[in-house]
Chain A
């Protein structure tokens, strides 16, 4: 199967293509230099051509995601999607159901989505559900924040077994990335307590959040994983937490990167950039975080934009969700997972009239505008925590247009945002190339998947998004509505060389790949480590070890990334 995309205006930052008129050729699902025979042609004249979008952090599938849907039938009833043209039906405003999520992402031009907090014990659920998310390639990040094996090896000072154990969990859960959520805090939540500072003790395990973060960051590099550790630090969403955030990032400064990329990925940075010491004097510290990230090269973050919607918050940060529930008194789900982590869920209404929420809205944008290199600050709402992913086109328009932001500042949000943040003083406007970085190229690079994803060079997957925006005609600063509309639905989404979306309508729903990492450590070490695992399992887990690892059947189109880490012994 061959496809030619002719005359489009191409933005492909990883290959330094910045708005050139260029043809993209795809054969057998990959970008090629030349086509061989008869092929379909798409005339993309006057249209924006970018690599397929890559979602690096979105809670679109998994155990707590489904618990969130179950909790909120009122969110389901708010938006329904009828069955039509061979597409499955669905529902959900803040938390679309599985098929619908795949369609909506593809319609926005996304071709890969990663679900960022998979409790290992629920990995089977995550993969079952990922099988029902059509079109996009995907992966899941297993959580290690309260993992008893990790804490035990840290305490015993056995970094080799720790590395072998992490490798085993990645293999058992078919996960791609080491995810850490409120390190130590989720274990303490087992007693209704938390860990707010990086040196707080973890009850019963004699380790600290700092040890967990640093230890796992080092393991990550010893295992040569594609991505760095993916971190949600302690103290999310609390006034004054910027201090904890910077301290946490500083832990990873000296860690040596195995793959010439960041050594720590700070996710939903907005929620970690708070100043003040109460909600009364709450203010943005985006400038402080931006300054830090501008100065160093071991950190990449995503924004975690707040979009001012009624949404459903869901994280593996159980104590934070309980804290939020006590603020709002809205219904609250807790889902502590034995030996691993502690997810929680509660609905949340971000109100334009609320000063704190308005500052949060500003922080997400400030981060994007204050961090110089867009490869260091990627676009995400931590779907659905800051708002649903369907709001990405609006965020793109905000980033590209100072007048659009000013309109919001002056007319839409609480005046507190002007006082509590520097957003009103920022006149930077993102270019189309910057947008291509923060929605695809940057994600692919940070994930360590930039050979295949996030660019349009030869050898890349034939994943292309074509938007009905003509850069020669549209001035994003003035025509922000056209930008918002243009990024909402593609003219074409192409996945592995197949036309998936045409004029905003889904035409095909193939099954995407599921990527997972399999770092292979020294055989002897693996065996020694497994002896400990066996013993622990019997005593403390509620399932047998033999029934724990996710079977191959659950990955409808699995892609193993095997890594030789036999030097770990």
Chain B
């Protein structure tokens, strides 16, 4: 039996790096330290029904094809398109993302990640008002107040509280949990709320009003007796905890980024955190979902200057979420081909966007069968990043970690990066030949 230690879990943005994986005869026997989500990801390696061969849609449904043929088809689709969309990227390593960006630039397309449907609003807010943040080790060593807003780590990031916030002992927090207070703000009493010291139940869609009330009180103003379904005294007492802590943290999730107001909720929440720095040390971290959605933003930003939704059709990067982002481009019918890498837009995009996706040429690289692999004209299965392929991923606090390879992919499967490199090469061949 092989024992792999210090393995990085390629599931959520917590990017735990202390997993011990036991592999015997190509089967994962155990994934110690992993949470139930991470464990499920490692255990899913043992499933039998893995696709190995690219599938292309013909008149009679899908038929198998070779990798060479599949690569050529994707390359031609991209070269023929006036405005192809290259979407996904959150569940692959940075080295593959980098090739994807070069491909998007080469074909004059738009490249976008799932940030545009999860934490894109956070980025827009950052770009308007800033981003006071810290790494998660700072939280562990210093924080005595953690706020989870619109985020339910018990289910979405199960080890977040045990590794960084609620439970661990830190340099200045020797007693661990006893030294820390947790506030949960959510529209319903989540399981995370169940272990919180204080829970504020905000009426659905009124998060912005609540932030506004916090800030108004903080700046010496007065507020009505009830805001966003919460009594003034509860708002005031929560605010008192924020002002008087030594080191406060705000963790926020899609409950805040995707509720009405979207980036403005975050914009105002960031400003609240900035204001709190007049009283104490306060910072925030977005609870990023997919394990490497952060890495994509980093790579795209240092290469192009912009973090997601980058339009290369004019030969230089243009950035305007709401215009250059996937859902809007598809819904408005502004793209004429779609290439998905490691994502499932067919399952989570709005109906209008999926309808356009179904109408135009499309292809996907994806290790598993998903609604998107059925919807696209062509799918290329790939090796699984972070388990069968090593490479870089960035944690939710932008800390870069190298993911380890713990087993070989089934024979015949290539990594996302290798497939993308083949496509890029083919694209150049076609362009030079034309």
Which B residue's beta carbon lies closest to that of A92? B305
Which A residue's beta carbon lies closest to that of B170? A540
Q: With an 8 A cutoff between CB atoms, is A37 at the interface? A: no
* B312 surroundings in chain A (CB, below 8 A): 83, 89
* A547 surroundings in chain B (CB, below 8 A): 6, 8, 17, 401-402
Among A57-91, those with CB < 8 Å from B are 61, 63, 65-67, 69-73, 75-77, 80-84, 88-91
Q: With an 8 A cutoff between CB atoms, is A339 at the interface? A: yes
Q: With an 8 A cutoff between CB atoms, is A192 at the interface? A: yes
* Contact present for B247 and A542 (CB under 8 Å): no
Which A residue's beta carbon lies closest to that of B169? A539
B2 to chain A, nearest CB (A): 16
A20 to chain B, nearest CB (A): 42
A337 to B98 CA separation, bound complex (whole angstroms): 25
A90 to B101 CA separation, bound complex (whole angstroms): 12
Partner of A91, one of B131, B306, B399, B402: B306
Partner of B140, one of A90, A190, A192, A542: A542
* A81 surroundings in chain B (CB, below 8 A): 316
* Contact present for A67 and B398 (CB under 8 Å): yes
Partner of B317, one of A71, A90, A132, A346: A90
* Sample (19) of A-B pairs whose CB atoms are under 8 Å apart: A63-B398, A66-B302, A67-B398, A73-B319, A80-B318, A83-B312, A83-B315, A84-B315, A88-B303, A90-B316, A128-B392, A191-B142, A331-B126, A333-B133, A334-B133, A335-B134, A338-B134, A540-B171, A543-B399
* Contact present for A97 and B303 (CB under 8 Å): yes
Given A89-B105, A334-B131, A540-B140, are A122 and B316 also a contact pair (CB < 8 Å)? no
A222 to B12 CA separation, bound complex (whole angstroms): 44
Q: With an 8 A cutoff between CB atoms, is B102 at the interface? A: yes
A124 to B94 CA separation, bound complex (whole angstroms): 12
A505 to B305 CA separation, bound complex (whole angstroms): 22
* Contact present for A336 and B301 (CB under 8 Å): no
* Contact present for A332 and B140 (CB under 8 Å): no
* A95 surroundings in chain B (CB, below 8 A): 305
10 closest Cβ pairs, A-B complex: A338-B137, A76-B305, A91-B305, A542-B137, A331-B130, A546-B6, A192-B281, A336-B134, A80-B316, A334-B132
A97 to chain B, nearest CB (A): 5
Chain B interface helix/strand/loop/mixed: mixed
A-B contacts besides A72-B127, A338-B138, 7 pairs, CB < 8 Å? A69-B305, A90-B317, A128-B400, A192-B281, A337-B135, A547-B6, A547-B17
* Contact present for B306 and A540 (CB under 8 Å): no
Return the CB mask of A310-340 against B: 1 if under 8 Å, else 0.
Answer: 0000000000001001000001111111110
The interface on chain A, measured as residues whose beta carbon lies within 8 A of the other chain's beta carbons, has a size of 62
* Contact present for B136 and A336 (CB under 8 Å): no
Return the CB mask of A351-371 against B: 1 if under 8 Å, else 0.
Answer: 000000000000000000000
A338 to B398 CA separation, bound complex (whole angstroms): 12
* Contact present for A542 and B136 (CB under 8 Å): yes
* Contact present for A82 and B137 (CB under 8 Å): no
Partner of B303, one of A67, A132, A332: A132
* Contact present for B136 and A338 (CB under 8 Å): yes
* Contact present for A339 and B137 (CB under 8 Å): yes
Q: Which of B5, B128, B130, B305 has the most CB of A within 10 A?
A: B305
Using CB atoms and an 8 Å cutoff, list the residues of chain B in contact with chain A. Answer: 5-6, 8, 17-18, 94, 98, 102, 105, 123, 126-138, 140-142, 163-164, 169-172, 246-247, 274, 277, 280-281, 283, 297-299, 301-307, 312, 314-319, 392, 394, 398-402
* Contact present for A332 and B274 (CB under 8 Å): yes
* Contact present for A124 and B402 (CB under 8 Å): yes
A100 to chain B, nearest CB (A): 8
A334 to chain B, nearest CB (A): 4
B34 to chain A, nearest CB (A): 14
Which B residue's beta carbon lies closest to that of A541? B137
* B319 surroundings in chain A (CB, below 8 A): 73, 76-77
* Contact present for B303 and A204 (CB under 8 Å): no
* Contact present for B302 and A71 (CB under 8 Å): no
* A98 surroundings in chain B (CB, below 8 A): 302-303
* Contact present for A90 and B169 (CB under 8 Å): no
* B17 surroundings in chain A (CB, below 8 A): 543-544, 547
Which B residue's beta carbon lies closest to that of A330? B130
B431 to chain A, nearest CB (A): 12
Partner of B246, one of A66, A191, A544: A191
Given A71-B131, A204-B172, A336-B134, are A125 and B402 also a contact pair (CB < 8 Å)? no
* Contact present for B18 and A544 (CB under 8 Å): yes
A91 to B305 CA separation, bound complex (whole angstroms): 6
* B394 surroundings in chain A (CB, below 8 A): 125
Among A19-78, those with CB < 8 Å from B are 61, 63, 65-67, 69-73, 75-77
* A278 surroundings in chain B (CB, below 8 A): none
Q: With an 8 A cutoff between CB atoms, is A302 at the interface? A: no
Q: With an 8 A cutoff between CB atoms, is A2 at the interface? A: no
Q: With an 8 A cutoff between CB atoms, is A551 at the interface? A: yes
Q: With an 8 A cutoff between CB atoms, is A496 at the interface? A: no
Partner of B171, one of A71, A73, A91, A539: A539
B296 to chain A, nearest CB (A): 12
B149 to chain A, nearest CB (A): 19
Given A76-B317, A124-B401, A190-B142, are A346 and B302 also a contact pair (CB < 8 Å)? no
Which A residue's beta carbon lies closest to that of B128? A331
A59 to B314 CA separation, bound complex (whole angstroms): 29
* Contact present for B137 and A122 (CB under 8 Å): no
Which B residue's beta carbon lies closest to that of A123? B400
Q: With an 8 A cutoff between CB atoms, is A529 at the interface? A: no
* Contact present for A82 and B314 (CB under 8 Å): yes
A122 to B295 CA separation, bound complex (whole angstroms): 12
Q: With an 8 A cutoff between CB atoms, is A129 at the interface? A: yes
Q: With an 8 A cutoff between CB atoms, is A99 at the interface? A: yes
* B314 surroundings in chain A (CB, below 8 A): 82
A73 to B306 CA separation, bound complex (whole angstroms): 6
* Contact present for B302 and A97 (CB under 8 Å): yes
A150 to chain B, nearest CB (A): 15
Partner of A125, one of B6, B142, B283, B400: B400
* B130 surroundings in chain A (CB, below 8 A): 71, 325, 331-333, 346
* Contact present for A82 and B163 (CB under 8 Å): no
A204 to chain B, nearest CB (A): 6
Given A192-B281, A204-B171, are A67 and B131 also a contact pair (CB < 8 Å)? yes
* Contact present for B131 and A125 (CB under 8 Å): no
A130 to chain B, nearest CB (A): 10
* Contact present for A322 and B277 (CB under 8 Å): yes
Given A336-B283, A540-B137, are A331 and B129 also a contact pair (CB < 8 Å)? yes
Q: With an 8 A cutoff between CB atoms, is A9 at the interface? A: no
A468 to chain B, nearest CB (A): 28
* B315 surroundings in chain A (CB, below 8 A): 82-84, 89
